[in-house]
Amino acid sequence: MDTTLQDPLVGQVLDGRYRVDARIAVGGMATVYRAMDTRLDRVLALKVMHPTLAADVSFVERFIREAKSVARLSHPNVVGVYDQGADGAYVYLAMEYVAGCTLRDVLRERGALRPRAALDILEPVLAALGAAHRAGFVHRDMKPENVLIGDDGRVKVADFGLVRAVDTVTNTTGAVLGTVSYLAPEQIEHGTADPRVDVYACGVVLYEMLTGAKPRSGDSPAQVLYQHLNEDVPPPSATVPGLPYELDDLVAAATARTPEVRPHDAVALLARTREARAGLTDAQLDAVPPRARAEDGRDISDDRTSVIPRALAFQMPLPVNEDDDADGFHRTSRLEMPPPSGPAPRYRRSRRGPLAAVVAVLLVLGLGAGVWYINSGQFTKVPALLTQSEADARKRLADAGLDVGEVKRAYSDTDPKGTVVATDPAAGTRIRDNGKVGLTLSLGPETVKVPDVEGLPLAGARTRLKDAGLEPGMVTQEFSDAIDQGAVIRTDPAARESRRAGSAVAITVSKGAPVDVPDVTGESVDDATEELTDAGLKVEIATEQVTSEFDAGEVARQSPGADSQAAEGDTITLTVSKGPEMVEVPDVVGQNVDDAKRTLESAGFKVSEDRGLLGLFGDTVKSQSVEGGDEAPKNSTITLTIR
């Protein structure tokens, strides 16, 4: 039974535009549907937020704000965002529909993957994340469920930075347990999320692809979180003997518990991944994991197939009706149900004859995925060419009976120079035999030279850097006798060095020649102000006064202090004394001199002795300079006469 028919949204039209045809998946935050954009006549995925979350205004506002930001992220390995809106209680996101399966489906079906297959999936994932990181986005929830594998073989990353997991730590459901398996230690301990949390998650995903299991396990999320914080991810070769050390190193680097030790973003991890691949032989890349098992327990160790299945969910034709496609073939809908174990179900034939029935039988037997077309050989599909060299792409096109059309070139931060970054039409598109496919080849990352901005004011230097395609970075200041105050001394990288477009450039600005700060403590406020002003400094008087050794009205302290250096025009803050603290003097006459000194010093006074000729050998206090019971300034000196 098709349970999607019980969903109240199925069959409705949202916003007068999106016809909801079938439910694809249900998650903790939203439900995803296959829908038809009736305005543009295209199939898309509609992600509809659960009504309980949609009632939270701040949650919805962030959902909308981040959706708009992600919509500007255009990359062939990122699920495109087309539209966002609301219809009554339904808040939705219209996205690219990817006919295929998720990486989670692949792992359930196949268990551990061969190293080549694992890297073939990881690299486009890192390319997508790298583009996001360079654009200022952090995914924050990378896991196999968010890696889509299309029927055309293309890998795409979904759910880019839209919403953090809800109740990730406190919720104990199995779904949440799956999410916490990919959290970086700093996400757990400090709640921080920069590109390195995605790097960590990708390391965990790579481990899972190589071994068929998560590196962390436990009966509760708390146990998994504890392991993230206190235990390193084990090397994959400990679970799958024979895996090359290059893959162990790659997992270890990505999953380092200290963020600073990891590659700083997905672009850096992608470079290390390609370096690791280059160090492996074909035999190592194609080695079948020993005793590899799918999640259903089926042994697939002898399955020599290295190609990822085009689809893992059972494909079932939609009911036949009078609105069948003009060519007599049915489009298919993905239903979350296993293939039939008994005789194939019977479907009413289209009035157009046996051809549609043949298609239905093929689909029931699990031989199809996505939208199938059967023709007399006039059409073919554009092969997947992304990341291929120009020579390999031309050969694949020739093998498919297609010609190379216009060849363009474009800069790419993530694709090596000379490799294919896009095709026109896209991979999987139906095209007539002998048709032409345009190629866009990577020029590698765009590089620019750092302009010379020495001597320019800071604002002018920032403008010139932006005009050159660079980003003004951190600004520091230092003294300079040669460069005017407020002007640029130097940049890092230095002028005329080449850097990737969009890179940040640090700027050092002159504070001018240094000014020696004079000591004005103990002076009157007027005298201190005049002396500091003459030195080219400004003066500010602190609102609070303090007790000090200086008389009331005199400067008790200054900041910056004496003998330091300041820039011309810097401000020196003066704190005014309200006089010394007065303390009652203890009476120590008649005491032993050592006891008397201890008593006075404990009360906050300094002590001096007056022995004269008669007191050279005495040890008794005969008198004191301030009589006992009187007050004297704290830290002042009390003189004792010894006889």
Q: Residues 570-591: pLDDT tens digits?
A: 999 999 999 988 999 999 999 9
Residue 338's pLDDT is 35
Q: Name 504's bridge partners.
A: 471
pLDDT of res. 434: 82
Q: What pLDDT, in 10s, does the model give residues 118-175?
A: 999 999 999 999 988 888 888 888 999 999 998 888 999 988 754 333 333 333 333 3
For residue 302, name the pLDDT band (cuts at 50, 70, 90).
Answer: very low
Catalytic status, residue 141? yes
Question: Is the predicted pLDDT of residue 483 greater than 90, yes or no?
Answer: yes
CA pair distance 600, 630, nearest whole angstrom: 13
- pTM comes to 0.47
Return the amino acid letter for 377: G
Whole-number pLDDT of residue 571: 93
Distances (CA, A) of 264 to 199, 258, 260, 272: 8, 11, 7, 11
- Are 433 and 338 in a shared domain? no
Could you give the number of structural domains in the chain? 7
More confident residue, 306 or 417: 417
Same domain, 4 and 91: yes
Residue 106 pLDDT exceeds 80:
yes
Q: Domain boundary residue among 576, 602, 619?
A: 576
Per-residue pLDDT band at 558 (split at 50, 70, 90): very high
Are 121 and 1 in the same domain?
no
| Same-domain pairing of 230 and 134 | yes
DSSP tally for the chain: helices H, then strands E: 16, 31
Q: How far is CA 26 from the centre of its chain?
A: 25
Sequence-distant (6+) residues with CB within 8 A of 620 are 590, 591, 592, 593, 642, 643
Mean pLDDT is lowest, of 4-13, 230-239, 452-461, for 4-13
Interval 94-110 mean pLDDT: 91
CA nearest neighbour of 525 among 540, 515, 535, 537: 540
| pLDDT for 366 | 35
Same domain for 553 and 607: no
Is residue 332 pLDDT above 50, yes or no?
A: no
Same structural domain, 18 and 84:
yes
Same domain, 364 and 466: no
Query: Is 236 a residue whose pLDDT tops 70?
Result: yes
* DSSP, res 456: S
**Mean pLDDT score of the chain:** 79
Is it the case that residue 457 has pLDDT exceeding 90? yes
- Measured between alpha carbons, how far is 116 from 133 in angstroms, rounded to an integer? 25
Domain edge (last residue) among 311, 344, 361:
311
Summarised one tens digit per residue, pLDDT across range 19-54 is 999 998 887 778 899 999 998 889 999 999 887 787
pLDDT band for position 116 (50/70/90)? Answer: very high
- Give yes or no: residues 357 and 455 share one domain: no
In this predicted structure, what is the pLDDT of residue 220? 67
Which helix (H) or strand (E) segment holds residue 148: the answer is strand 147-150
DSSP assignments along 284-341, one per residue: HHTPPPTT-B-TTS-B-TT----SPPS--SPEEEPPP-TT--TTS---EEE-SSPPPS
Domain enclosing residue 621, as ranges: 582-642
C-alpha Rg value of the chain to the nearest Å:
37
Task: Provide the CATH number for the domain around residue 472.
Answer: 3.30.10.20
Residue 513 main-chain phi, psi, to 5 deg: -70, 145
Q: Is the peptide bond before 76 cis (omega within 30 degrees of 0)?
A: no
Tens of pLDDT, residue by residue over 47-93, are 998 877 877 776 777 677 667 767 777 788 999 888 888 888 888 88
Give the pLDDT score at 291.
52
Which is the catalytic residue, given 141, 159, 265, 415? 141
538 lies in the same domain as 593: no
